[in-house]
A and B are shown apart, each in its own frame.
Chain A
Amino acid sequence: DTEVTQTPKHLVMGMTNKKSLKCEQHMGHRAMYWYKQKAKKPPELMFVYSYEKLSINESVPSRFSPECPNSSLLNLHLHALQPEDSALYLCASSQDSGPVYNEQFFGPGTRLTVL
């Protein structure tokens, strides 16, 4: 299985809602990533987990809360989001975050709309 899956595909939420995005991979990868992407722009890194531990938080607002319950699963918990948080949220994984030659495999993304 060489796939990263993400659910849901689309999510519409109000500014007071709490929701979660889910990402899963079964490639045995030990590094997982969350990105935010606006239309026609490059992905912006949000968080990196390496061996289930948070290794990078790119100064992301606390209304975004990542969680890595196990090596195959990555969640992004959302609370009190703003309309400007509307974007495509991409999950990715790689064999390891250390070696420079490891490419990242991306999921299809969750299209988030905040009303």
Chain B
Amino acid sequence: AQSVAQPEDQVNVAEGNPLTVKCTYSVSGNPYLFWYVQYPNRGLQFLLKYITGDNLVKGSYGFEAEFNKSQTSFHLKKPSALVSDSALYFCAVRDIASNTGKLIFGQGTTLQVKP
């Protein structure tokens, strides 16, 4: 069965410091990975995806993610955090077995950026 794990419920970082939000996956076959962000009382916003190719994927709002096949990880990163980055972040993997567009989400990580 395919799954995604986000080992940290919350990540705290000071504004201006680099941030990392961790995600590991377990899939049979090639992984198709996504990061979404959710601000309070809003829907999810797509940040970036890994399908194939370069292991470093660049996305919206200065975020990037590094795909590491040997460690089965897809960590989200940003060189310099902003207070406005404070939100709930979800990693997701495409359920390729169902061929129905279904995403399998991690439990989410709350990012708190303090001034």
Contacts and interface: CB of A to CB of B under 8 A. Distances in A.
Counting chain A CB atoms within 10 Å of each CB, the highest count among B45, B98, B103, B107 belongs to B103
Contact of B101 (A41, A98, A106): A98
Interface stretch (A43-51, A67-75, A76-84): A43-51
- Which 6 pairs, one residue from A and one from B, show the smallest C-beta to C-beta distance? A97-B101, A42-B105, A106-B43, A106-B44, A100-B32, A101-B51
A104 B105 CA distance: 13
Q: How large is the interface on B (under 10, 10 to 19, 20 to 34, 35 or more residues)?
A: 20 to 34
B106 A48 contact: no
B70 interface: no
A21 interface: no
Interface of B: 32, 34, 36, 41-46, 49, 51, 88, 90, 94, 96, 98-103, 105-108, 110
Contacts of B98: 56
Given A40-B88, A90-B43, A101 B32 contact: yes
Contacts of A107: 43
A94 B49 contact: no
Contact of A45 (B43, B49, B103): B103
Contacts of B49: 101, 103
Contact of A104 (B101, B106, B107, B110): B101
Contacts of A65: none
Contacts of A41: 107-108
A105 B42 contact: no
A109 B43 CA distance: 6
Contacts of A40: 88, 108, 110
A31 B96 CA distance: 16
7 contacts: A40-B108, A43-B44, A48-B101, A55-B100, A96-B101, A106-B36, A106-B45
